[in-house]
Structure 1
Amino acid sequence: MTLDKAGIRSKFIGEFDELVKELVEILTDYKMPQEAIDWFVKSLNYNTPGGKLNRGLSVIDTYCILKNTPLEELSGPEYKKVALLGWCIELLQAYFLVADDMMDQSKTRRDQPCWYLVPGVDNIAINDSFMLEGAIYILLKKYFRQDSYYVDLLDLFHEVTFQTELGQLLDLITSDEQNVDLDKYTLEKHSFIVRFKTAYYSFYLPVALAMFVCGVTDEKDLKQAQDILIPLGEYFQVQDDFLDCFGTPEQIGKIGTDIKDNKCSWVVNQALLKVNPEQRKVLDENYGQKSDECEAVCKKLFKDLGIEQTYLDYEESVVGDIKKQIEALDESRGLKKQVLYEFLGKVYKRSK
């Protein structure tokens, strides 16, 4: 029986339920008190499965394409292993988001209060974020230690985590909420931030993990994937910046905070290229202020500057370039164009 989108998601979430049970068993073996186990389970369930799960599901999609095997024909153990890698990315995502929401003092995430704002959590969320990351390596050891590519998986997760943290560092020191300085912002700096903070773990990591499991491990294959997926991930984050400003909370599942948080977003960088001296003064006085009125002034200025049309023009240009890159891909090396078109299809013209 062919599964629809809801069925695919449900099957994937079923593996998360099993994963939680296994982590509970590990904590029980450590003789962890029940109250601590209950806390960890609550953190896992609150922070990990509530999103779109695109990163985790992409591992399975990519694996099926590379193996030329429909999802429904994967054996139980085969599906479990690739699904587990998908959940490891979702755990990594949860780790980043719990920490990021505290750093940004965000209020909502996935239509619910950020974890640190849940009654009784507060700064314990810092340790909870560490535990979400630590669970990745406990699971990798349990399921992949005997595989020839085990060290490749470890190296990949460690490297991509560090790359993401480098992007976060540049984001934080550029977007200092206490000292708003728009002179720090450039499109080049924005590009570095989004490639490192988002593109590596959201786009390259799922494909590279599936490639390792399929035995496609040559550096040239990985480079081909990276050269297309990183620009695609940058496009995704530019979309995210655009939606944060021009989308609604109902669309994006959170309250957009980039303007109030003084973020080095694509939107403000485009505005800085277009403003006249008077408009620049308005931007300097209102951007990065914790005020609804100042935020509204910025949004009106962005509309007046035609940022929406600038984004639509950018989108068509970048998607055209990515399609050309995909068409030039050498499929004889093991990577398939379909993998990359699947990713592009999930991103192009999305509204949330």
Structure 2
Amino acid sequence: MTSEVDRPEILTDRQQFEGVFKVVRDELVANGRVQGLPNDAIEWFSNNLDYNVPGGKLNRGLAVVETIRILKGCELTSDKYFQAAVLGWCVELLQAVFLVSDDLMDSSITRRGRPCWYRNAEVGLIAVNDACMLEGAIYWLLKKHFRTEPFYVDLLELFQETMMQTELGQLLDLITAAADKVDLCKFSLERHRLIVLYKTAYYSFYLPVALAMHLCGITHQPSQQDPYGVAASILLPLGVYFQVQDDYLDFAGTPEQIGKVGTDIVDNKCSWCINTALAVASPEQRTVLEAHYGRKDAESERKVKAVFEEVGIREKYAAYEEAAYERIITLIEVIPEGGPGEDGDIKLQRAVFKSFLDKIHRRQK
């Protein structure tokens, strides 16, 4: 009989996923040695990877693995799990590229409870190059692990397209809500939708699922029923819904509830709340918003929040959430029930999208 001490440890999904990071990190660092880099450069790159890639919630990377499990309808073999996790870590590397760059552009102070990477001693503007190295690591890993797969080019194009889409979203955000200049005339609900669609929805929602679909052998179809088009038609609105939730919780959530102090108002963010308020504000209320939004003092923030309450942001959000949920459910129900088709091919399944929706519907943090 096996005693308690002799039993092998049962790893959580996160622990198993994190174990693959150690492998890909070591592969990337070893490649630096093969290239003949001196020890100080190798150490810098290794620190860049360790500091910026793991440590977050890992939702995007884990979503790749979970989606593949749902599509296949079974637990993955060790080889298939490793491939899925490598793709998941490529998504987390992409996230790291954006965070390192965004923190520098926004002059942010902390990230995940630590100083932003660029604020560490000797880093500074070298962070620009470090972000480029993190992006390069994605394509190196794709080549190493998927070069012989029939969907290799699809993976490359998907990451390249997603990078461009997210950078377009960042551009829209930067020129709409500059940190040093408040101009609410640039704000609108349509502008907000475009920023969220390009800056968040593509890489946070569509990318993980599309990667899983490629790994499962789902191919593009030249018709309105293209599974990738169907997936995008659900996941992109889901991503917008998710960000609207974030914007609302930044205003309405308590620090104990959401784990941080909301700063969208003082940071001049082009959030759903300010855009919804602007759309219905009276001339007097708009004057208050223009005078106090984006100002770095508690009294201005209080006055903006008072206008939000006056125009009924809480009630408008409740109505938005209900409508968004119903719309997404309707889109999901278009997908036929079931798993692999009669020919053994893996098909899209409602469970993939329900999994995402169930995690965020009426979330409180």
- Tell me the TM-score normalised to structure 2 length: 0.90
Structure 2: gaps of 5 or more residues: 1-6
Q: Which residue of 1 aligns with 2:45?
A: 40
Q: Deviations over 1:281-323 (max 9, x none)?
A: 1110111223343233323332333212221221111011111
1:211 aligned onto 2:213: yes
Q: Which residue of 2 aligns with 1:98?
A: 100
Q: Residue 296 of structure 2 is aligned with which of 290, 297, 322? A: 290
- Counterparts of 1:1-352 in structure 2, within 5 Å, are 7-70=12-75, 74-219=76-221, 220-249=226-255, 251-330=257-336, 334-352=347-365
Q: CA deviation at 1:249?
A: 4.7
State whether residues 111 and 254 of structure 1, in contact with CA within 8 Å, keep that contact through their aligned partners in structure 2.
no
Which residue identity does 2:176 align to in structure 1?
Answer: T
Q: CA deviation at 1:54?
A: 0.9
> Aligned in 2, Cα 1:90/1:277: closer, same or farther, shift over 3 Å?
same
Q: Is the partner of 2:140 in helix, strand or coil? A: helix
> Aligned in 2, Cα 1:303/1:120: closer, same or farther, shift over 3 Å?
farther
Equivalences, count: 347
Q: Deviations over 1:90-130 (max 9, x none)?
A: 01011101111222222222222222223332222211111
> Aligned in 2, Cα 1:252/1:45: closer, same or farther, shift over 3 Å?
farther
* C-alpha RMSD over aligned residues: 2.0
Greater shift in the superposed pair: 274-283 or 187-196? 274-283
Rounded to whole Å, the distance in 1 between the matches of 2:130 and 2:197 is 26
Rounded to whole Å, the distance in 2 between the matches of 1:141 and 1:99 is 24
Rounded to whole Å, the distance in 2 between the matches of 1:92 and 1:99 is 11
Which residue identity does 1:226 align to in structure 2?
Answer: A
Q: Deviations over 1:32-73 (max 9, x none)?
A: 122222222222122111111111011111111111112xxx
Greater shift in the superposed pair: 152-161 or 266-275? 266-275
- Name the larger-Rg structure: 2
Q: CA deviation at 1:196?
A: 0.8
Which residue identity does 1:16 align to in structure 2?
Answer: F
> Aligned in 2, Cα 1:119/1:308: closer, same or farther, shift over 3 Å?
farther
- Tell me the TM-score normalised to structure 1 length: 0.93
Q: Deviations over 1:162-193 (max 9, x none)?
A: 01111111111111233321111111111111
> Aligned in 2, Cα 1:251/1:321: closer, same or farther, shift over 3 Å?
same
Rounded to whole Å, the distance in 1 between the matches of 2:243 and 2:110 is 19
Rounded to whole Å, the distance in 1 between the matches of 2:249 and 2:114 is 19
Rounded to whole Å, the distance in 2 between the matches of 1:165 and 1:29 is 32
> Aligned in 2, Cα 1:64/1:101: closer, same or farther, shift over 3 Å?
same
Query: Identity across aligned pairs (percent)?
Result: 54
State whether residues 71 and 349 of structure 2, in contact with CA within 8 Å, keep that contact through their aligned partners in structure 1.
yes
Q: Is the partner of 2:12 in helix, strand or coil? A: helix
> Aligned in 2, Cα 1:203/1:148: closer, same or farther, shift over 3 Å?
same
The structure that is helix-richer by fraction is: 1
